[in-house]
A and B are shown apart, each in its own frame.
Chain A
Amino acid sequence: MLKINKLFLIIPTEIFFIFFLLIIMPTIFLKEKPGINQISFENILPLDINHSYIQSFISDKNNLNSVSVLLKNPALKSIDMVYIEVQNSNYETIKSFSISGRGIEDPGWINFKFSPINSKKGDIFYLKITSDSPKDNLLYIYGDKDTNNINFKTTFTARNIKESFEDNLNQQINNFKSRNIFQAGFYLFIIVLINLLIII
């Protein structure tokens, strides 16, 4: 019978270790995934009774479960209300949320988390931001003054382990593709070399 060198067992052990760290651990513990990240606008736009904003976006993953917007309450003076609504493609409000100026920093991300919407990748949503502030110099939102696009972030959540596993696998594959080939090659070369030194 062919005798297998016991040291060969280290290869499946290593593969399992890396698979456990990169895929299994995030699958078990990371249910929420980042979605759209539009954070580059540095202008502040007034947010008051006469200035409201509607930002459209196409979801890039299933099951939207949070939106965040970047607001500014200069010197934390305003106690006026800000209303955030998530609307579907028919402009029907499916989630809504309000926050008093007391909860808005100078500046700060306002995170609106909700039970996951049964949505699919490619669905269109609208994010509507309004305020009852009577003056245009009390509350601001970060955005582009020409297009009225605003800074916002979304997250999505996996509904079950299978979905979470697929998400993580895809994410790691995408990460691997975007990594430096020289560095990846160097690392793999060292690992293979040390394995050979152990086995042979």
Chain B
Amino acid sequence: MPQINKKIIFLAILIRLLVMPFFYHPDMKSQHFHFQFFSKGVFNIYEYLFDNKSNLGYKDTFNYLPLTYYTFGLTQTITKPLLGNDFYLWLNDWGETRNDHSNIIFYMFFLKIPYLILDIGLAFLLLKTFKNSKIFYFWLFNPISIYLIYILGNFDILPSFLTLLSFYFLKKNKLLFSYLSIGIAIALKMYPIIFVPFIFFYNPKEILKHLKYCWFSLLPLIITVLPFITQTSFINSFLGSGLTQKILEYEIFNIPVFPILYLIILANYTFSKSKQKFEIAIVQTFLIFIGLVKFHPQWIIWFFPFIISIFINSKKINKLFLISFFILIFSYIFLFNDNFLFWGHLTSINSLFIELTSPFQLIKLRTHLDPLIIQKNIHNLLLFLGIIGSISYAKNK
């Protein structure tokens, strides 16, 4: 493994410690609102929310899988002594002052500590997997991963870590661990299921061996979901998440486009002999996913560790392409009619930031342009560039 300067790791941690408290997204509050019930002994969150809907300040259902609830319910319980009792007052305040508590900065800090551990762990995992210190340093110091993990503050870093761990085991030919890792990731959030076929066809000569172990990728999901599968409250909550609908939304002649392009990428991947075929296929999937799906910014983290590995080893022109692609992605994100994706991130510093004019409102108020049309055009451009980029990567394999 390449030598790493410890001081640089501490510097990366310091940057994260300085960012963690001061940036906020309301999803973090709503998720932890649900996680709090774990420490109160609630094991069936779906039924509990359904039964107590009228008494709760926040009425939305819990749209994640049971393992997510148990994992983050447990981490919240462990962090409880640091969070203090005021934390629960804030968590249950959904009135006028819901984003206006002076200790929010510390809640953000403590709640993001598990993400910090996973983030630094992911950096080391990248180092172990790719044995390239440039990838390691790039992960630690690029602003995008800091934005995705600490500003959006979503727990997707955990399934991302497990997905990379799965790839690490795959490269080591430890198939059982590879499928188990991705299996746990799937039990936390469904999206890593799109990576499973790439694991399965990684080495087509060993397909029988893969056939023996691939079932482990579904085992954690089956075990954790089975107790809830017949409950209407669970089914209704889980169907509310909507990723499947979003993937199938973009159609040509009533045929959903994403699955077709995904299958083409998979076929190309299966017969590829490139040493980087897995990473390239993930980047290709990312490029078409962004163009075809009305994505939430936090979903970028699913692909980001693999994008970095490709970015570092790319030629200048390919680097420029990916940089331009990300500039467009951020233009698209900032044009959402949701100020919590712009000024609202600074709510923990001063709750009045949410009242400031968002880029969406600014365009609407100051110009004759429709920000929704601009955003749609950017999305179309992303689709065009995504397809071109995906073809280009397929040719360069």
Chain A residues near B (Cβ < 8 Å) = 7, 10, 14, 17-18, 21-22, 25-26, 29-30, 32-34, 37, 39, 168, 171, 175, 178-180, 182-184, 186-187, 190-191, 194-195, 197-198
Task: Point out the residues of chain B lying under 8 angstroms from A195, CB to CB.
Answer: 14
Query: Is A34 a contact of B352 with CB atoms below 8 Å?
Result: yes
Task: Point out the residues of chain B lying under 8 angstroms from A33, CB to CB.
Answer: 352
Q: Given contacts A39-B96, A180-B84, A183-B84, are A197 and B102 in contact (CB under 8 A)?
A: no
For chain B, what secondary structure do more than half of its interface residues adopt (helix, strand, loop), or is it mixed? helix
Give the contacting residue for B18; candidates A14, A29, A178; CB below 8 A.
A14
Residue of A nearest to B113 (CB): A190
Query: Is B22 a contact of A21 with CB atoms below 8 Å?
Result: yes
- Which residues of chain B (104-162) have a CB below 8 Å from chain A? 105-106, 109-110
Residue picked from B14, B21, B96, B105, most chain A C-beta under 10 Å? B14
Chain B residues near A (Cβ < 8 Å) = 6-7, 10-11, 13-14, 17-18, 21-22, 82, 84, 86, 96, 102-103, 105-106, 109-110, 343, 346, 349-350, 352-353, 355-356
Task: Point out the residues of chain B lying under 8 angstroms from A14, CB to CB.
Answer: 14, 18
Task: Point out the residues of chain A lying under 8 angstroms from B110, CB to CB.
Answer: 183
Query: Is A194 a contact of B349 with CB atoms below 8 Å?
Result: no
Residue of B nearest to A200 (CB): B7
Our count of residue pairs bridging A and B at CB distance below 8 angstroms stands at 72
Query: Is A194 a contact of B86 with CB atoms below 8 Å?
Result: no
Q: Given contacts A17-B18, A32-B355, A195-B14, are A183 and B103 in contact (CB under 8 A)?
A: yes
Task: Point out the residues of chain B lying under 8 angstroms from A22, CB to CB.
Answer: 22, 349
Query: Is B106 a contact of A194 with CB atoms below 8 Å?
Result: no
Residue picked from A10, A32, A184, A187, most chain B C-beta under 10 Å? A187
Q: Given contacts A32-B355, A186-B82, are A180 and B106 in contact (CB under 8 A)?
A: yes
Query: Is B14 a contact of A198 with CB atoms below 8 Å?
Result: yes
The 28 sampled A-B contact pairs (Cβ below 8 Å) are: A17-B18, A21-B346, A21-B349, A22-B22, A22-B349, A25-B346, A26-B349, A26-B350, A26-B352, A29-B343, A30-B350, A30-B353, A30-B356, A32-B355, A37-B96, A179-B103, A179-B105, A180-B86, A180-B103, A180-B106, A183-B84, A184-B106, A187-B21, A187-B109, A191-B14, A194-B10, A194-B14, A198-B11
Q: What is the CA–CA distance of A178 and B86 in the complex, to the nearest angstrom? A: 12
Q: What is the CA–CA distance of A85 and B230 in the complex, to the nearest angstrom? A: 59
Residue of B nearest to A196 (CB): B10
Task: Point out the residues of chain B lying under 8 angstroms from A194, CB to CB.
Answer: 10, 13-14, 17
